[in-house]
Structure 1
Amino acid sequence: MEVKRLENRSSKGYTTFGSMWEKGKLHGDNISFTLKGENGQVPVQSRVTAYWPDGSIKWAAHTADAEAMGKKAVIDPVLNQEINYGKGKIEVSDMGQDGFRIEAGSVSVLVCKDGDKLFKEALFKGKKYIESARCDALIENRKGEYNKEVNSYKGIVKNAEIVEEGDVRVVVKLSGTHISTENKESKRLPFTIYMEIYRDCPEFRFTHTFFLDIDESKEFIKGVGISFDVPVSGEQYNRHFKALADNGAFSEAGAMLLCWHPRVSDEIYHKQIKGEKIVLDPESEEGRNAIDASKMMPVWDEYRLYQDSSEHFVIRKRTAKENVCLIDGLHGHRAPGVISFGSDEGSVMLGLKDFWQKYPSTLSVKNISKNMATGTIWLVTPDADAMDFRHYEDTGYSQTYYEGFDVFGASAYGIANTSEFAVRFNENVIPSDTELSDFCESIQKKALYIASPEYYHDLRAFGYWSLVRRDSEAENWLEDQLESAFEFYKDEVEVRKWYGMFDYGDFMHTYDKERHSWRYDMGGYAWQNTELVPTFWLWFYFLRTQREDVFTICEAMTRHCSEVDIYHFGKYQGLGSRHNVRHWGCPCKEPRIAMAGHNRMMYFLTGDFRLRDIFDEVKDADFSTIETDPLRFFFDKKEMVYPTHARTGPDWSSYVSNWLTQWEINKNNAYLDKIKTGIEDLKQTPLRLLSGTDFEYDPKTSHLRYIGDRATGGSHLSICQGSEQTWLELTDLLDDPKWNEMLAYYGTFYPLDNETQNKLSGGRIGNRSFAYPFMAAGVIAYGAYYNKDRELGKKVWEILKESLETELKDGAIKAVDVPLAGNQKVLKEIPWVSTNVFAQWCLNAIVALEFVRDDLPESFK
């Protein structure tokens, strides 16, 4: 399989990428992989990430050095052959309660199994660069608006396990929680950290997740940080701090040799600011002057790079004296998110991915003037106001503001946030600007290798989607619409500043053309929260275009939606919150928001370990609905036979997505049986997949109980929340012609008029509406393809064209210029824009092109 590096991505550093293989090609447990880069063989470490139904390998993940790979590489399977790169596996020694000693060539570290340290004694080429690392948290308690008390919590590791080891890297999973330094019974903010250690590489990478278990009515998060204790020594004028800024770097020394009296030569100061180590000769006048001056000037001990919004950062510093202030050294727009500090002992770089996008955040160092400096990555920074997770109201507004139910349902208990960061060692007192920039790029734009769109398409990666073709006027028009839709949302992220730690990665739901803004303050019209699957739209758009800017948005959306929008523990585990002003605000807690299908693409393309945890957290989401029945306000519990309800879509279809993921990742046939049980139940109903959509449901047996043909919320909900993509993918994975035929019939039935539907169903459909046919266009196209129905194929394109005219009040996706609106000189606005409409229209067009491209009209004009 040939892969290429994604454009505008770092060419350096280690990377993990996915490979996909033809069904039936790679069988057995003794398969290895070789990697050939542009200049020959490259050491690679591989693991299988998914299997086809016949047990053959479907997806694998591979870790290698991007610089050695070059722009293109070839990954090949090798059967029954041990690959030897001459260095053997990285040494991992279990030291009992002391932890794991990892010897990765020139890198050595002791990873802790328990206690208040993540790791100790990080060495590179025998020199200790980090003494230890730890987690800290600050919880602010409030009694009223201005009575605030901040309590310190120390991160305690409860468990450490090696989750991957080989020739190239070791990955350790650390789990724990933060415990109050004042009250050992007070525990808050559980955490999970994946730590990656690479052979001969002076860089550790981390994927850090913290989970909310606070009482949001009175507890506010004031800080979440990871600190690294770093030995420092030598003269203060050889202790340095550097941070990348908007343009170039901010660079200073602890004692700066720019002195009025005694005068220090310009050459010495010039070398110092360049980051060169200064060696002064006390026998010379020049040397004596500089030494004397260094003892009579302020010594800067602490630096902070603080990004307070997506639009502003500040670098501040102060001395080590008590009761002294911080002073501002530099103001700027968007800091790239890396700093470095060092001394005669060498230097350490710290970098946080999406530093300004997930503001407020801080990178800091203190005690640099002493023997042990502490560098801290503040994911939640104490420099900002404490994070407030209260709701914007104390009730719901179901009718006026589309909040589902009128009951209060906001809860942040059980949500999470994940960040990626890295630490790197350097032998010099401070790295060069180029070294710091390369480090920054490898964090912010890590190398990613992908195969061609045609390759993924031929193997039907993630089901059915189409390739880009512009061979006709109609195709050209459609591709223009898809491109315009993406460009509009890409620009909106920047225009509307959809940034922030708990917001970045999401879009808004519905627009307000009178205010020229999104309805950010109107209940269910605010944040999208995966509603109508913009996730599938954007990932399919990436697969077919392979644009780096598309991937960046997909990556951010996946990270946000898989953490902030869903519950990872508690009574709602495996469910998510429907769209709302606050991501966790809606009283509707449903499986569709959290289903695995939103996140599978990123997992298989990048091998991200945290997403594997997400799949485990949602796999049994159906059990959470025993207490939180999605139809609890529509049926009397006392009259039910089964303990809860599931609509064919979006409830059961979301479970199927979760179960499919478990089946393919773990070869767990118990989850396949759950899928088959539901399908068999549907086969026995009067209208098969068209029955319901409301069913009673028993999570213990996975059975659906037919209770008639009522569709709470409308029939369109059964297809537009990822059901179409999940069910279509199953047509290739299940050896069940009846399932394929049921799905095809669903597609042919959906666009029929109500009278015809009732004739075909014996009157069972009644007045049930099959609204928004453009949201079912993909499965309608499948019905046309399955039955070779050219007229139905043409109908698909009529539906998609007409929907643009009715939903957007226009015949195409295009913005208009509005002067002095939205805080813009000229605002590019689509007055009737709705993310529901855009996501579903684009997604269904992409799918429909795969099935009924030959039925396109000559022109859409």
Structure 2
Amino acid sequence: MDPFNRRDFLRTAALAGAVAPMAAQAAQAAPKAPANVDAEGVRWLDGAPPAAHEGQTFGLPWPRGVQKAKATFAITGAGGEAVPVQTWPLAYWPDGSLKWTGHAIPADAGRAETLKIVAGKPAAPAAAVSVRESADAVEIISGEQSWIIPRKGADIIARASVAGRETVRNVRLVALTQDKPDFDSGPVAETRFEGQIDSLVVEQKGPVRAVVKLEGKHRGAGREWLPFTLRLYVYAGGRSLRIMHSFVFDGDENRDFIRGLGLVGQAPMTDPLYDRHVRFAGEGDGVWGEGIRPLTGLRRDPGKAWRDAQVAGQKTPAIEGMAPTVSKRLDLIPAWGDFTLSQPNSDGFSIRKRTKPGHGWIDAITSGRAAGLGYIGGASGGVAFAMTDFWKRCPTRLDIRGAHTEAAEFTVWLWSPDAPAMDLRFYHDGMGMNDHPAEREGLEITYEDYEKNWGRPLGIARTNEITLWALPTTPSRADFAAMAGRLRETPRLVAAPARLKAAQVFGDWSLVDRSTPTRRALEDQNDGLLSFYMLDVEQHRWYGFWNHGDVMHTYDSDRHVWRYDIGGFAWANSELSPDLWLWLSFVRSGRADVFRLAEAMTRHTGEVDVCHIGPYRGLGTRHGVQHWADSSKQPRVSNAAYRRYYYYLTADERVGDLMHALVDSDESLTRVDIGRKLPGAQPSRPPGVVDMGFGTSWSAFAAAWLTEWERTGDKHWRDRIVAGMDTIAAMKQQWFAGGTDFDLKTGRFLGKGETVSVSHLNAVFGAVEVHSELFQLIDNPRYRDAWLDYCQFYNASDAEFRAKTGAPAKGRNLKEGHSRLTAYAAFHRKDPALAQRAWREYFSGDAGLGVGAIATKRRVDGPAVIEPMEEIPRISTNASSQWGLATIQNLALIGDVLEEARANLPAPGKRGQDLGKDTF
């Protein structure tokens, strides 16, 4: 239903020169940040300071040459008050100046609308966090809190104390497995594994933030597997220890069925049973809380003071004052030792309890979506434990066991033992596809790239966040509800969009601008599409342990569902760069909901969609019914270009690890021939030489090398990029050759590139965005011209393309998305005719989406669907992502001629009017 069709495009092609003066003006200057925005500032993601927080870490960019490599920094609030800060470098410009810095501030600090970061002496926290190292353990001390972390063994945390009282001990990882899936017949053999630490590294020692990295494997029954990485974070002034838990699946999916995966620990219990409390957070401000030995609802009343104290989680008055009708019968009131909150799906949880093992469970309550926060302890202290995104990562569970004994046990289950065992087996039997011709036939009908044994889950990973609080008293219900609220929407400091723009990072983008009718329409549709994907996450329940963070590829308007069960049309797995669309939409707008959608996608696509070990190490898996199941393994999915935004905005170490692991992942191409299903025999190559495409492969590797060069200053990675640039530029057809043989040792392409081979995929997996950043850093005129030629002629007319390359114009598609290449060439070559051509391409609607698509949204209800829903009949993530990226980059590069270009297109007429009053 796009109002601008091909006929409109052809009728307006002759009008390109009408606004040449304006186009030339646009090509001379990039958009600038508004002058009234404090370019030094960071702000709170949700717009206002939180009532409390457990410490903050954020990244901040600096313009080239502004800050020396060893600069120190100070932070001040709106009133000029000093905020304690710890700083470290994240990235450098080629001249050695700081490009990105990481900063940490203490718990509850910096609660002003904006914070200002300047070069200067940092303020120290009132009570610094410190690290004491010994031969056997590391102790993190923050105020009255102490966390002791052994260097080896099963304990992640040996013990934690507050003001000298031990509140947590023996915190470990646990995995439960069985050798068959739940629904197969026959006996099932179950095995329990515990995590064992093999190495410990102290990464930061304070004074604001301490970071400890642990690595190990799960061991049991004479076997070790499921390698894990943990990072433990403690902030000055905080009450908690944050754990980033990552593991890799390295088992046999046909016999290793994970029944449970979690973290278990103990809480010493010394208070009387009636002064011990359990808490679970529900939805909103809801709190479920009870005493281990209840004093309410009894036939005899102990007294209001005792009832009120227990309900509030406070120490009750002396037992001598309690009504004797109760005090002399306390031992006859059941003590409830075991509690479970189970979230089997995204829509409902239940709480059950029992007195002790061997006795029946009692149902307490059922409700919707639990926050994932629990507490066990007494009036003199205890432990709170939580999992972030608890209900979104279902099936999950929180357990408390033995609360009536001297040491209660708590467990945060990342995969609940209540649920069917994790089944990672491939979803079909191959259907007779036993050779490449048959596999290509399958690709023709379901779009699935299938090959036997290539769709295994070996090497996939998942990262989850767990938090422990060592507390001196049972938290009040209000405090507990506030803790849960901060789990749902974690307070976060982020660099303001204007600051990001002023620093000239992340390539070509401009701040949101609705100053003209057409700009407003484009911005409104981009916002509408973003909001629609958020709606569809909820409507179609794109939740679950392995699914959360991804979106689907293509919609099926006949069934009114996304094509979740159709080959390559199911999970998107970063196809055509939705990650980039989300992140660029965030950096230009600062929208909190977009940040969280992009954050979840980054966590998912960098972990679940990538093989971290094994023969495909460092390569990602193409879109499919299961995230790991498509047999096409490619660097275009594992692409560091998709992770850079989150890493630099948040200084997240785990994502930094993922990008670092990609720097030598081109080696995997010695085992993976990406073009293995193409007709004809593949040529043999010498050892160390692989076939590599310029866009989907080399540009993805270049993103990893660029990031490593920026982070470390090691020019080896710069030189590797330059070697590729030089050899592409030396080819006859340059970028139009598409790809050729590549020498892994030298980073040089070996072919002459005499044959034209153009693919519509080459530039849509981060190549445009990576080149925008590379040309800021590397001066290589010949290669720059080669790239600009590709940008200019990819969408050119057939005659122009043949005149440039000497070959027919084949393999071109996605004209609308590639309009941003034309815009890039127009801007950098200062060519007004190209700027006009770019807008005509953009409004052609050739991506299958087009302006006005959001207005086709409609409601579907009744028996056609399982429940009422909204749909856009022609929606696809490919089209949405490429339309969004073209919109953002065209507005940044040639936005000043948008209204003039739009004026030269024919009026949409009734067809356009049908799309709604906001559609021009």
TM-score interval, normalised by the smaller of the two chains:
over 0.9
Say if 2:752 is the partner of 1:684. Answer: no
Work out the CA distance in 2 between the residues paired with 1:660 and 1:708. Answer: 24
- Tell me by how many angstroms 1:531 deviates: 0.7
**1:21-36 paired onto structure 2 within 5 Å:** 21-29=62-70, 31-36=71-76
Say if 2:205 is the partner of 1:165. Answer: yes
Work out the CA distance in 1 between the residues paired with 2:750 and 2:159. Answer: 59
Work out the CA distance in 2 between the residues paired with 1:823 and 1:329. Answer: 33
What is the aligned counterpart of 1:412 among 442, 457, 470? 457
What does the per-residue CA deviation read over 1:220-269, in whole Å, with 9 as the maximum and x for residues that have no partner? Answer: 11111111211101221111111111252111111112465555445533
Q: Is the deviation greater in 571-580 or in 70-79?
A: 70-79
Number of the residue aligned with 1:489: 533
Say if 2:261 is the partner of 1:218. Answer: no
What does the per-residue CA deviation read over 1:404-441, in whole Å, with 9 as the maximum and x for residues that have no partner? Answer: 2454521111111001121112222x211221122223
Say if 2:250 is the partner of 1:174. Answer: no
What is the aligned counterpart of 1:572 among 586, 603, 616? 616
Q: Give the letter aligned to residue 680 of structure 1.
A: D
Work out the CA distance in 1 between the residues paired with 2:863 and 2:749. Answer: 51
Number of the residue aligned with 1:818: 860
What does the per-residue CA deviation read over 1:86-140, in whole Å, with 9 as the maximum and x for residues that have no partner? Answer: 76964423211x1112333322222111001112221222221112211111111
SS of 1:783's equivalent?
helix
What is the aligned counterpart of 2:169 among 131, 134, 146? 131
Number of the residue aligned with 1:337: 372
TM (normalized to structure 2)? 0.89
Say if 2:469 is the partner of 1:424. Answer: yes
CA contact (8 A) 2:230 2:245 kept: yes
Say if 2:237 is the partner of 1:195. Answer: no
SS of 1:603's equivalent?
helix
Q: Give the letter aligned to residue 873 of structure 2.
A: P
- Tell me by how many angstroms 1:303 deviates: 0.9
Work out the CA distance in 2 between the residues paired with 1:823 and 1:59. Answer: 49
Work out the CA distance in 2 between the residues paired with 1:410 and 1:341. Answer: 43
After superposition, the Cα gap between the structure-2 partners of 1:259 and 1:640, relative to the gap in structure 1 and judged at 3 Å, is closer
What does the per-residue CA deviation read over 1:490-530, in whole Å, with 9 as the maximum and x for residues that have no partner? Answer: 11000000000100100100111110101100110000001
- Tell me by how many angstroms 1:619 deviates: 1.4
Say if 2:187 is the partner of 1:119. Answer: no
SS of 2:862's equivalent?
strand
Say if 2:91 is the partner of 1:62. Answer: no
Q: Give the letter aligned to residue 663 of structure 1.
A: W
CA contact (8 A) 2:195 2:218 kept: yes
What does the per-residue CA deviation read over 1:282-321, in whole Å, with 9 as the maximum and x for residues that have no partner? Answer: 4x5x43222233211221001111111000001111112x
Number of the residue aligned with 1:239: 276
Q: Is the deviation greater in 337-346 or in 796-805?
A: 796-805
Say if 2:77 is the partner of 1:37. Answer: yes
Say if 2:317 is the partner of 1:279. Answer: yes
- Tell me by how many angstroms 1:58 deviates: 0.4
What is the aligned counterpart of 1:834 among 872, 876, 880? 876
SS of 1:480's equivalent?
helix
Work out the CA distance in 1 between the residues paired with 2:552 and 2:500. Answer: 30
TM (normalized to structure 1)? 0.94
- Tell me by how many angstroms 1:535 deviates: 0.4
After superposition, the Cα gap between the structure-2 partners of 1:633 and 1:99, relative to the gap in structure 1 and judged at 3 Å, is same
**1:626-645 paired onto structure 2 within 5 Å:** 626-634=670-678, 636-641=681-686, 643-645=689-691
After superposition, the Cα gap between the structure-2 partners of 1:598 and 1:296, relative to the gap in structure 1 and judged at 3 Å, is same
Q: Give the letter aligned to residue 724 of structure 2.
A: G
SS of 1:483's equivalent?
helix
Number of the residue aligned with 1:304: 340
- Tell me by how many angstroms 1:346 deviates: 1.0
SS of 1:529's equivalent?
coil
After superposition, the Cα gap between the structure-2 partners of 1:344 and 1:818, relative to the gap in structure 1 and judged at 3 Å, is closer
CA contact (8 A) 2:569 2:624 kept: yes
Say if 2:567 is the partner of 1:523. Answer: yes
CA contact (8 A) 1:104 1:198 kept: yes
CA contact (8 A) 2:733 2:756 kept: no
What is the aligned counterpart of 1:771 among 813, 827, 830? 813
Q: Is the deviation greater in 503-512 or in 632-641?
A: 632-641
**1:562-641 paired onto structure 2 within 5 Å:** 562-634=606-678, 636-641=681-686
- Tell me by how many angstroms 1:398 deviates: 1.6
Number of the residue aligned with 1:388: 423
SS of 2:856's equivalent?
coil
Work out the CA distance in 2 between the residues paired with 1:230 and 1:805. Answer: 58
Work out the CA distance in 1 between the residues paired with 2:695 and 2:785. Answer: 18
Say if 2:548 is the partner of 1:504. Answer: yes
Number of the residue aligned with 1:106: 144
Number of the residue aligned with 2:708: 662
**1:785-824 paired onto structure 2 within 5 Å:** 785-803=827-845, 806-807=848-849, 814-820=856-862, 823=865
Say if 2:384 is the partner of 1:349. Answer: yes
After superposition, the Cα gap between the structure-2 partners of 1:500 and 1:340, relative to the gap in structure 1 and judged at 3 Å, is same
Number of the residue aligned with 2:289: 251
Say if 2:251 is the partner of 1:207. Answer: no
After superposition, the Cα gap between the structure-2 partners of 1:371 and 1:681, relative to the gap in structure 1 and judged at 3 Å, is same
Work out the CA distance in 2 between the residues paired with 1:822 and 1:417. Answer: 36
After superposition, the Cα gap between the structure-2 partners of 1:772 and 1:86, relative to the gap in structure 1 and judged at 3 Å, is closer
Q: Give the letter aligned to residue 219 of structure 1.
A: D
- Tell me by how many angstroms 1:199 deviates: 2.6
What is the aligned counterpart of 2:490 among 409, 424, 446? 446
Say if 2:391 is the partner of 1:373. Answer: no
- Tell me by how many angstroms 1:617 deviates: 1.5
Work out the CA distance in 2 between the residues paired with 1:310 and 1:800. Answer: 39
Work out the CA distance in 1 between the residues paired with 2:784 and 2:191. Answer: 58
Q: Give the letter aligned to residue 372 of structure 2.
A: G
CA contact (8 A) 1:693 1:709 kept: no
Q: Is the deviation greater in 803-812 or in 825-834?
A: 803-812
CA contact (8 A) 1:256 1:294 kept: no
After superposition, the Cα gap between the structure-2 partners of 1:673 and 1:328, relative to the gap in structure 1 and judged at 3 Å, is same
Number of the residue aligned with 2:191: 151
Work out the CA distance in 2 between the residues paired with 1:735 and 1:573. Answer: 32
Structure 2 spans left out of the alignment, 5+ residues? 1-39, 431-438, 909-920
Q: Is the deviation greater in 42-51 or in 70-79?
A: 70-79
Work out the CA distance in 2 between the residues paired with 1:499 and 1:811. Answer: 26
Work out the CA distance in 1 between the residues paired with 2:658 and 2:487. Answer: 22
Work out the CA distance in 2 between the residues paired with 1:121 and 1:187. Answer: 25
Q: Is the deviation greater in 407-416 or in 623-632?
A: 407-416
Q: Give the letter aligned to residue 96 of structure 2.
A: G
Q: Percent identity?
A: 30
After superposition, the Cα gap between the structure-2 partners of 1:117 and 1:66, relative to the gap in structure 1 and judged at 3 Å, is closer
Q: Give the letter aligned to residue 779 of structure 1.
A: L
Q: Give the letter aligned to residue 576 of structure 2.
A: L
Number of the residue aligned with 2:119: 78
Say if 2:509 is the partner of 1:465. Answer: yes
Say if 2:180 is the partner of 1:142. Answer: yes
SS of 1:122's equivalent?
strand
SS of 2:548's equivalent?
coil
Number of the residue aligned with 2:585: 541
Say if 2:362 is the partner of 1:323. Answer: no
Number of the residue aligned with 1:732: 776
**1:739-754 paired onto structure 2 within 5 Å:** 739-754=783-798
Work out the CA distance in 2 between the residues paired with 1:850 and 1:813. Answer: 24
SS of 2:398's equivalent?
strand
Work out the CA distance in 2 between the residues paired with 1:565 and 1:280. Answer: 58
CA contact (8 A) 2:74 2:123 kept: no
